[in-house]
Structure 1
Amino acid sequence: MGGVTARSRSRDSGTRALRRAFGVLAATGICLASAPPALAAPALARPDGPDFGLAASSECVFGGDVIKSTPWSLQRILLDQLREQATGKGVTVAVIDTGVDASNVQLREAMASGGGDYVGSTKGTQDLEGHGTRVAGIIAARPLKGTGFVGLAPEAKILSFRYTGGENKQGNSRTMSSAIRAAVAKGAKIINISSDTANRQDNTELRNAVAAAVQSGALIVAAAGNDGADGKAAKTYPASYPGVLAVAASDRNDERAYFSQAGDFVDVAAPGVDMVSTVPKGGQCTADGTSFATPYVAGVAALLKEKHPNWTAAQLATRIEETAQRPGRGPNQFIGWGVVDPVAALSEDSTPSNSPKPDAPMAAGSGGVIPMAVTMGESEAERERRVAVYVLGIGLVLVLVAAGSGVALRDWRTKRVGQAGRAGQSG
């Protein structure tokens, strides 16, 4: 599949530096402790690291106003062309999170019955934190007059399982595992998990629950995590488990968002910065995080599932990966196979394999576009400009030396003539 494109990117290093400096105030996500047998409650803000809590900004008001403009994450898509392919109709996506507030008008008609609550008794339709409601909106928010925000799959259904975020009880890997098993029992074929375990801990119970879901044919789409500001590769869970589609966050330049966790387990990236979405009691807010890149990919998966209902989870994942926009022939540890391209994923109708393959090398003269090699050194054009500057500089120096020598020679001759004249007068 063609996944390589040539494009120019504006790189504002100053802006990115500021974002890194103040990033602890912006990135969002949730985590859970998972060390058996005594499982600690999840920390919405980790005590030993940056605050990647659920509140993206103090300006977010549950029940507030909607944002009128169309979010950049949707502007990058030809939505009319996408809607011609699929809308998610007939597809249900399980959201395992802090619950989904069904009172938001953009989600009211999107909710499917039969969800669960492992930290309360609301059947998954209450969200005290706002995280799950944001996730659900990115997947399936219905169109609403007065706002440009809408879900990627605006006719899909959301099956909410609240595994954490309770008023008197927080969840853990055990409640998450229970929610995964319940989603599979309800027949969910796409499961969104926008969480990772605290301190990147593996856990046998969670691993087994994920393996059973994968075996059942479900596609689990999981967040890579928000602890990547140091740029170091590390595995997170459940994103690193076999069969899971792990999602990193990308920025407006289609590059890894600075907080997004890097690692060989990363499969694909999606917009995860300044993400507009629904919040409890109505209205919308913005937030950052791999938590919100993940439902972007889950939404694309829902569209593909509607268009190709017989495709397996592996085939859905492969199509998303192979049609992603990436800078090389294969994947890397920062954005995986690249930044998801919803229109490209839906436009290709050939049946994918069960795993993605790198683009074949393209020889010169084959008639295709050959991507320009990326180097850390100077390009040929830069070298030519440098040589030209050197030649110009040397030429200017020679002119100045010649002019200065002429002036010095003239002054020397004038001085000699003057000395000779004075000597003649004294004789």
Structure 2
Amino acid sequence: MLTFLLFIILFFFNPATILGQAEIPPESIIIKFKDGTVEAAKQKVFSQTQTTRTGFVSSININTATFTGDLNETVNTLNSYSEVEYAEPDYIRTLSFTPNDPQYGSQYFLKLIKADKAWDLTHGSSTVYVADVDTGISPNHPDLIGKIAKTKNYSTDEIMNDFKCPHGTAVAGVFGAATNNSVGVASVGFDTQIIAAKLQNVVTPQGCGVATSALSAAIHWVVDNGASVINLSIGGYKPSQTEQEAVDYATNKGTLVVAAAGNENTDKITYPANYTDVLSVAATDKSDGRAGFSNYGSWVDIAAPGVDILTTFYDYSMPQGKKNTYISADGTSLSSPIVAGVATLVKAKNPNLTNTQISNILCQTADKIGGTGEYWRCGRVNAYAAVLAAGGGGEPTPNPTPTSTPSATDLIVKIRFQGIDVAANSQLIILNIYQNGAQKITVTQETSSNSDGTYDVRLTNPQDTLIPGTVAIKIKGPSHLRRSVTSIIYTGPGTTIDLTQNENQILLAGDTTNDNKITIEDLSNISRYYTDFSVAVDNNDTSMKSADITKNGFITIQDLALASINWSDLAIKGDE
């Protein structure tokens, strides 16, 4: 039996059909025992919890097991054992890919993202590897022959082809098809080489899936085999510790992970796209608008074309000799490899860049199309601008200066909210900047938190309205009082103003009614929802969301305590 499965959205040959990321019940559990646990102790745990071990992934030291009874109860029971480091379902991730036309089509997206101009600066490099961790790949496709450097088969199938769940070959063609070879299509990555890891294809009535356990093991393998970039065109709505640890392993080894945001037209967060250090990708259409099926929100980093993307395809329904073909398709599964392909061009242009620097360059050079700041954070990827930022025009520069954060034209204001000291949900922050007694900048920005709970408000081209010198800043966030900070030194574009270190600059918690004061009404608002130790927030209830002071998605005693501590009079007001 398979463990926590990653559900993959398979395409249908119906142009109007776009599947969402439906939940598929996990069939197995991942169990990670603490180091030093002897086999007899493990068997005792299996026996007492009525679980049966079905596999052991030695590269990441996890066991997979089937279960009887209720999944959540079994997981909770397993986590109560002292021998268990953690247990979790082996989730199913969806494939974010929906073909809409099996005929030849135009590769408009290459010109839209200016890949053709980027190729004037670099053709990529055969020493830069991009990983296709997916349902398999057709090694005999005429546009992929000679482009696949290494393969590993994690499935029980004898061949690498994605014949059960045709998806991986289409994804690989976007970033890695042979280019300028007088055959078929071109790829964004041009000369980049592919490392392919085929995961077990799990076919269900809802679609295809792959197991979290196998995905995590495959991430380790492609990293250990030299992948500079990993593309994950899969997703699901529940996070996995095993998966996050695999992503952390990749990041710490210098590999950039790129993942599709999903195809359900929702702002609901998906994984692996939302893990720390993963570059998440939404889909746009031919007119640079958000594709109607694409997921969106402040948690999404960047966008790329995802409609009518012509790519390689392995059609298992065709007779022998005609299975390797091409198809035009929709989906964030095809947007993600476009961004991954651009990342390989950047890496080829300047091999000294780190994964973080590449991610920053892709974000900072993206075109600020409509929807930027609402549907995604950075804009739509621009290959030419990204390659220029990596090392300038013309031939590669030996030692280019990488773009850093903030960029040369940005101002970042770093903010801390009382009660938030770990990664939290995004917030709608209002920030005003004053200089020489006049209000110069007003921005309302939905901003994601950093891993330490701080928030960065990024202002582009502040030199248009500010001059180096002293400024004053006013900040207001939901559930927190307004804070005014004076005598701040602005040194020009590229400045970071850090307001997180001084206690007098932290925004005080408790303003759930968003009227810039803490009253008994705020305490009543929280008490109304705090009916148990931890109550999940209904995101459709604006009042309930405001009562979540710590922005962790739950109403807890901490929310009530923070407001109570600050309410020491009839009404405590924030700064004007």
Q: TM-score, structure 2 length as denominator?
A: 0.51
Give, in angstroms, the shift of residue 297 of structure 1.
0.3
Task: Compare the two structures and name the one with the higher strand fraction.
Answer: 2
2:120 aligned counterpart, secondary structure: helix
Which residue of structure 1 aligns with residue 480 of structure 2?
none
Which shifted more, 335-344 or 160-169?
Answer: 160-169
After superposition, the Cα gap between the structure-2 partners of 1:217 and 1:355, relative to the gap in structure 1 and judged at 3 Å, is farther
Q: Distance in 1 between matches of 2:464 and 2:93?
A: 52
Q: After the TM superposition, which residues 43-192 of structure 1 pair with which residues of structure 2 at under 5 Å, given as runs?
A: 56-57=99-100, 60=102, 67=104, 70-89=106-125, 90-113=127-150, 115-122=151-158, 124-143=160-179, 144-145=181-182, 147=184, 149-165=185-201, 171-192=210-231
2:353 aligned counterpart, secondary structure: coil
Would you say 1:298 and 2:340 are equivalent positions? yes
Which residue of structure 1 aligns with residue 462 of structure 2?
361
Which residue of structure 2 aligns with residue 258 of structure 1?
292
> CA contact under 8 A between 2:18 and 2:293: conserved in structure 1?
no
| 1:85 partner letter | L
Which residue of structure 2 aligns with residue 337 of structure 1?
378
Give, in angstroms, the shift of residue 266 of structure 1.
0.7
| 2:132 partner letter | V
Would you say 1:212 and 2:253 are equivalent positions? no
Which residue of structure 2 aligns with residue 313 of structure 1?
355
Would you say 1:249 and 2:283 are equivalent positions? yes
Map Cα deviations across residues 240-279 of structure 1 (whole Å, 9 max, x no partner): 0111010111111212112111122211000001111001
Structure 1 unaligned spans of 5+: 1-21, 46-51, 367-427
Q: After the TM superposition, which residues 379-418 of structure 1 pair with which residues of structure 2 at under 5 Å, given as runs?
A: none
Which residue of structure 1 aligns with residue 366 of structure 2?
324
Q: Distance in 2 between matches of 1:142 and 1:257?
A: 27
> CA contact under 8 A between 1:29 and 1:291: conserved in structure 2?
no
1:86 aligned counterpart, secondary structure: coil
1:221 aligned counterpart, secondary structure: strand
> CA contact under 8 A between 1:130 and 1:279: conserved in structure 2?
yes
Identity %: 30
Give, in angstroms, the shift of residue 351 of structure 1.
1.2
| 2:191 partner letter | E
After superposition, the Cα gap between the structure-2 partners of 1:299 and 1:41, relative to the gap in structure 1 and judged at 3 Å, is same
Give, in angstroms, the shift of residue 333 of structure 1.
4.1
Give, in angstroms, the shift of residue 363 of structure 1.
3.2
Which residue of structure 2 aligns with residue 25 of structure 1?
17
Give, in angstroms, the shift of residue 220 of structure 1.
0.2
Structure 2 unaligned spans of 5+: 1-13, 31-65, 67-88, 315-322, 392-400, 411-457, 468-576
Which shifted more, 83-92 or 309-318?
Answer: 83-92
2:360 aligned counterpart, secondary structure: helix
Would you say 1:286 and 2:358 are equivalent positions? no
Give, in angstroms, the shift of residue 166 of structure 1.
5.9
Which residue of structure 1 aligns with residue 403 of structure 2?
352
User: Bigger radius of gyration, 1 or 2?
Assistant: 1
Give, in angstroms, the shift of residue 208 of structure 1.
1.2
| 1:129 partner letter | C
> CA contact under 8 A between 2:298 and 2:376: conserved in structure 1?
no
| 1:352 partner letter | T
> CA contact under 8 A between 1:97 and 1:132: conserved in structure 2?
yes
| 1:273 partner letter | V
| 1:212 partner letter | Y
Q: Distance in 1 between matches of 2:122 and 2:145?
A: 21
2:231 aligned counterpart, secondary structure: strand
Which shifted more, 31-40 or 301-310?
Answer: 31-40
1:103 aligned counterpart, secondary structure: coil
> CA contact under 8 A between 1:26 and 1:287: conserved in structure 2?
no
After superposition, the Cα gap between the structure-2 partners of 1:337 and 1:185, relative to the gap in structure 1 and judged at 3 Å, is same
Give, in angstroms, the shift of residue 153 of structure 1.
1.2
> CA contact under 8 A between 2:90 and 2:212: conserved in structure 1?
no
Aligned residue pairs, count: 323
Give, in angstroms, the shift of residue 354 of structure 1.
5.0
After superposition, the Cα gap between the structure-2 partners of 1:112 and 1:123, relative to the gap in structure 1 and judged at 3 Å, is farther
Which residue of structure 1 aligns with residue 267 of structure 2?
233
Q: Distance in 2 between matches of 1:222 and 1:112?
A: 22
Map Cα deviations across residues 286-331 of structure 1 (whole Å, 9 max, x no partner): 1111100000000000000111101000100111111101148x95
Structure with more contact order per residue of length (Cα contacts < 8 Å, sep ≥ 6) = 1
| 1:192 partner letter | N
Task: Compare the two structures and name the one with the higher helix fraction.
Answer: 1
Identify the match of residue 232 of structure 2 among 168, 193, 204. Answer: 193
Q: TM-score, structure 1 length as denominator?
A: 0.68
> CA contact under 8 A between 1:193 and 1:221: conserved in structure 2?
yes
| 1:92 partner letter | Y
Q: Distance in 1 between matches of 2:310 and 2:225?
A: 29
| 1:226 partner letter | N
> CA contact under 8 A between 2:267 and 2:296: conserved in structure 1?
yes
